[in-house]
Amino acid sequence: MSRDYCRGCGYPYNACLCGSILPISPKTQLVVLQHPAEVTHKKNSVRVLSLVVPDLQVYVGESAIDFGPLREFLARCGKPIYLVYPSAQSRSVEEQPIARDVVLLLLDGTWRKAFKMLQLNPWLSDYPAVHLAKGYASRYKIRKSSRPDSLSTLEACAYMLKALDAGLDVTPLMAAFDEMVDMRIRAMPASIQSRYRNPTP
């Protein structure tokens, strides 16, 4: 049996997020390089991110050929461009003066997939890499990660935007994200829900 989907948020009507969506328009241009495996993932945070930040640009692919259109856009955008990726070469976004009107590139995928995307796209090394300082805790309790410092793409965007523009209210991003997470938990059997509502310390 087919399901009816909301035309506003794209989720099934019984899981509609429209009531939790309040769009924002940051000065920073967010660009997501999304691994193909993430596109149909039910816990994909970029989907929610695109509802709250309508100007978000998402390019799906893995190899340099896949991102040809993105590279053309970056070549003519006329703005400073930064890659959000923690590495030995990256610098904390909080420890350097970066204007709001820049382009942030984010890799959306598991750590393994994101690293592979980075290796397949050496052109990304042309841009300075930045990361968030330590101390940010993820609220993405429905999806496990191999790293304790992992953040969802939406969370990374929200914290990056706030670091670049202290006056920007990113509450709409986190509110929509929390609702999506809670929606996924409510869809679980009661015995499973308790694991997420009352996680073991």
The model's pLDDT over 125-134, given as tens digits with 9 standing for 90+, comes to 999 999 998 7
In a domain, 58, yes or no: yes
Whole-structure pTM value:
0.87
Task: For residues 136-148, give the mean pLDDT.
Answer: 58
- What is the CATH classification number for the domain harbouring 92? 3.40.1280
**Chain segment 80-132, per-residue pLDDT in tens:** 999 999 988 899 998 889 999 999 999 999 889 999 999 999 999 999 999 99
| Percentage of the chain modeled with pLDDT above 70 | 84
pLDDT at residue number 189: 61
In a domain, 108, yes or no: yes
Task: Assign 55 a pLDDT band (cuts: 50, 70, 90).
Answer: very high
Task: For residues 27-44, give the mean pLDDT.
Answer: 90
List the alpha helices (DSSP H) in the chain: 36-39, 45-52, 68-76, 111-120, 153-164, 171-186, 190-197
What residue has token string 């090394």?
Answer: 125
Instruction: Specify whether the CB–CB gap between 85 and 107 falls below 8 A.
Output: yes
pLDDT at residue number 139: 64
Task: Assign 148 a pLDDT band (cuts: 50, 70, 90).
Answer: very low
Domain enclosing residue 157, as ranges: 25-179
pLDDT at residue number 1: 47
Q: What is the DSSP string of 126-176?
A: GS-EEEPPS-PPP--TTS--SSTT---HHHHHHHHHHHH-TT---HHHHHH
Instruction: Specify whether the CB–CB gap between 178 and 155 falls below 8 A.
Output: no
Could you give the CA distance from residue 195 to residue 116 in angstroms, rounded to a whole number? 32
| Percentage of the chain modeled with pLDDT above 90 | 58
How many structural domains comprise the chain? Answer: 1
Question: Which residues, in sequence order, are bridge partners of residue 5?
Answer: 12
In a domain, 5, yes or no: no
Burial (CB count within 10 angstroms: exposed 0-12, middle 13-18, buried 19+), residue 153: buried
Could you give the CA distance from residue 173 to residue 155 in angstroms, rounded to a whole number? 8
In a domain, 123, yes or no: yes
pLDDT at residue number 120: 97
pLDDT at residue number 134: 76
In a domain, 185, yes or no: no
In a domain, 192, yes or no: no
In a domain, 95, yes or no: yes
In a domain, 8, yes or no: no
pLDDT at residue number 40: 82
